[in-house]
Structure 1
Amino acid sequence: MQTKFASLLELARTISRLPTARLVFQVARDPGNVEQIFKHFTKRHPRYFIIRNKTLGAALVDLTRFPVGDQYLASIKGRNSADQKVRRARARGYRVVEIDRNDYVDDIHSINNSVPVRQGKSMSDSYLQKQHHYLAERNYKYYGTLNGAGKLVAYGEVGMWGNFAAFNRIIGVRNNDGIMYLMVSEIICRLIDSGEMDYLMYDTYFGASAGLKSFKTALGFSPYRARYSLQ
């Protein structure tokens, strides 16, 4: 009981020290879609009713800290760092491209079914059932990591909501080649170099597994208190 109380106290202290990020949804990007996601982000939290859904501990990279993508890459260097994993993936022939998911239907299905349990949870039916056609949302970008033979081994869906972008889905086959580090870092660099976004969100910190927190931290994400508005 004392250990649990100490953990809750430390969590409260962490929350009180969170920096604030002002995240703006811009309706013009895709009116119906943007308004729907704004409502999802700002609805009451399913477990903690007194707070909003994605307000405390939003996992963000402040893209404005880096004039160019190369400076971001320099910030994730170090011993056993994300940068080392990125360089490993590149050395093994992987590359990140924007994709039309309809060109990779079989590969996507294979990726989704490659591991039955992720982050301690069984894969949902929305992943396991094969989808034969994908519609491209106008405010989304779709990325894939290809191996040297051109096979898709990871993919990510990024919503462009206003002054920030957010991962909707990110998943890959499980190997030790650094493919997920390569994809996330490449997306971050492209967003920085475009100058269009202030932040990139990767869901939240609180409630994530230790492994996923470590992955996010290595790539430069940190927890924020998010303040949302709709324009």
Structure 2
Amino acid sequence: MWLYLHHTAADLIDLDPTTGRWRPVDDAEKPPGVSVLADLPVKGGYTIENDKRYYSYWTSDEKFVFRTDDGAVFEICQKRGDGSVVMVPPVLRSEIAPSRYGDGRLRQGFSQFRLMDAATGQVVFELDYNVERYQRLYQADFTAAAAEQDLSDWDFFVALQGAIEIFEERAASGRVAFSVQDDGSAQIQGHRMRRDELLFADTGQTCPRSGVWACLTDLRVSVAVTQGEPMPSNGGRPVQWVWSRTD
């Protein structure tokens, strides 16, 4: 399984989830012509803290897991065939707090990441890590992409906490978010769409094809739009739509 180093969005490794062994992925192994991470068969990411590796990825049976350097695996949620999500018991929640020394003093530049059993509050994993280096990288990014990025694009544990919160919300609401399979296809309202069949349009854009369009943030929401009409908003908010089927 291919994973990328989170704060670089590069440095691919091939992890064997059974043994925990990994190896670097050589450029020659990548499909020809591929230039962006989204077009690679990447199943998650990893980070390195104190010379130890921590991973988050999707398993072959569509479970999202967090894995520690010593091989402990914490299952977070599972994706159903329709794209909806259910939390895997015992339901885990996360928090990030300032790191402290044993005498209670703040440990400058460090944060503590914790995973806890949501029902009992018991901490099942905790790690103190150097958050300051990710903050420096984030603040020093002056590229065009910086306007759309936040600390989670650099800090693996901030991103993991955000993912868990999103999965909790999706599980509670039943929301079905758009997702792409390894082969580039997507399941949209019961229809399997190939990569070359996917068509997207934003709110306000002229509709490029008549038919039923589904909202990317919740595929349960759909509207019928005629070609040439402006694409609508959803609940008064601009969204992106994906074409689903003819009327």
- Give the TM-score, by structure 1 length: 0.26
Higher strand share goes to which structure?
Answer: 2
Larger RCO, structure (CA 8 Å, separation 6 or more)? 1
User: Which protein has the larger Cα radius of gyration, Structure 1 or Structure 2?
Assistant: 2
